[in-house]
Amino acid sequence: MGWFSGNSQNDPVQKLDPGLRDYLEQEKPDKYVPGPNVKPPSTPEQSPEPSDPSKPKVPSASLYQDGRYADLWKTYKPPTVDDGEQVGIRGASRVIEKHKEHGDTVQRAAMENCALEHEALTYCFQTGNWRKQIEARLTLCSAENSTFSRCFMTQTKFLQALGYAANFEQDAEKEERIQLHADKLYHQMLDYEKRIEEAKSAGLEPPPLASLFHPEKQSTVQQSQGIEIPGGEAIPAGFKPSKPLQKLTPHERELEIRAHNAQLEQQRLYVEEATPFMKSQDDARQKRQEKAVSWFGETLGKWMS
């Protein structure tokens, strides 16, 4: 009768380790509480019993609302997270989400910078007489499609190289400036390519090659591959361009290298921001596991934690 009568002297719970007792009280499921529109089943013969004011009160988390174990619940404190840990969790969650969204954010900005090229592609498919419509479907609007595809892919790399959306602290004004600068550099690249073609057609010397990112720096020639890279950019170890460097224009080579380096830097910042939170989570889990192992043994303790 000790367990059911509420006699705390014969209560087996009192004999447990205090830490284990607190753990079990916190881990047991919350009492089911029906919603405001759910009425418990009742029969005409039943009537609600008034609460006994002589019985001690217990928190709603207790499964025994009749007052049993009220002496244990007097010192109960619900598990809480201190303000510093809450700030750390929120900050780490924000960093992780920003890292996941980085690629989509950059691509949306590239689409905005290529709005005219995309409009031209859409116009090619949707307008013109029946002869033009058939031609568009047969060729898949190859000229417009090629122009838009190159714009989108190249603008994406320019945005990455300039650090668009790389900072985990939102700064809309700064991001807009980067987006506009990426569009400017892209059209500078196209303008240089156009002047190269005009010089070839006229039999003239090509215009001097200058870096898009650092015009004041001299270009370098990679002797091993016989290619020129504006701005003196070195080929990073483990670098894998989208195409062989010999098939890229000098400005495309420079852009590929800078986008690659910027991506590595963005990953480094992510690790730097997220690692402290991940380590604190691992430390907390390790402490819970050690405590559970001391109570229940290694096999059961590791499974529970």
The DSSP-derived string for the chain is: -HHHHT-GGG-GGGGS-HHHHHHHHHHSPPPP---TT------TT--PPPP-TTSPP--TT-S-TTSTTHHHHTT-------HHHHHHHHHHHHHHHHHHHHHHHHHHHHHHHTHHHHHHHHHHHH-S-HHHHHHHHHHTTHHHHHHHHHHHHHHHHHHHHTTTT-SSS--HHHHHHHHHHHHHHHHHHHHHHHHHHHHHHHT-PPPPP--SS-TTSPPEEETTTTEEEGGGPPPPTT---SS-GGGS-HHHHHHHHHHHHHHHHHHHHHHHHHHHHHHHHHHHHHHHHHHHHHHH-HHHHHHH-
Is position 266 within any domain? yes
Number of domains the chain is built from: 1
pLDDT surpassing 60 at residue 60: yes
Whether 6 and 58 have beta carbons less than 8 Å apart is answered as: no
Owning domain of residue 147 = 103-207+243-270
Please report whether residue 176 resides in a domain. Answer: yes
Report pLDDT for 135.
Answer: 76
User: Would 182 be classed as within a structural domain?
Assistant: yes
**Average pLDDT for 194-212:** 93
| 8 A C-beta contact, residue 257 and residue 233 | yes
**Distance between CA atoms of residues 293 and 19, nearest Å:** 13
The rounded percent of the chain whose pLDDT value lies above 70 is: 60
193 within a domain of the structure (yes/no): yes
Give the model's confidence band at 194: pLDDT under 50 very low, under 70 low, under 90 confident, else very high.
very high
Q: Give the model's confidence band at 4: pLDDT under 50 very low, under 70 low, under 90 confident, else very high.
A: very low
Q: Please check the confidence at residue 48 and state whether its pLDDT lies above 70.
A: no
* CA distance linking residue 285 with residue 24, whole number of Å: 17
pLDDT at residue number 254 = 94
Mean pLDDT (whole number) for 200-213? 92
pLDDT in tens, 70-115: 776 666 666 555 444 554 555 556 666 776 788 899 999 999 999 9
Q: What are the C-alpha distances in Å from 95 to residues 156, 168, 202, 207, 285?
A: 21, 6, 54, 45, 21
pLDDT class for 192, splitting at 50, 70, 90? very high
Residue 226 counted as domain residue? no
Whether the per-residue pLDDT at 187 is higher than 50: the answer is yes
Return the number of other C-beta atoms located less than 10 Å from residue 263's C-beta.
15
Confidence of residue 301 (pLDDT cuts 50, 70, 90): low
Residue 282 within a domain: no
Residues 242 and 256: beta-carbon distance below 8 Å: yes
Q: How confident is the model at residue 171 (pLDDT cuts 50, 70, 90)?
A: confident
* Higher pLDDT among residues 268 and 90, named by residue: 268
Q: 291: which residues sit within 8 A by CB, 6+ positions away? A: 19, 23, 305
Assess if residue 232 is contained within a domain.
no
155 inside domain: yes
Verdict on whether the full-model pTM lies above 0.95: no
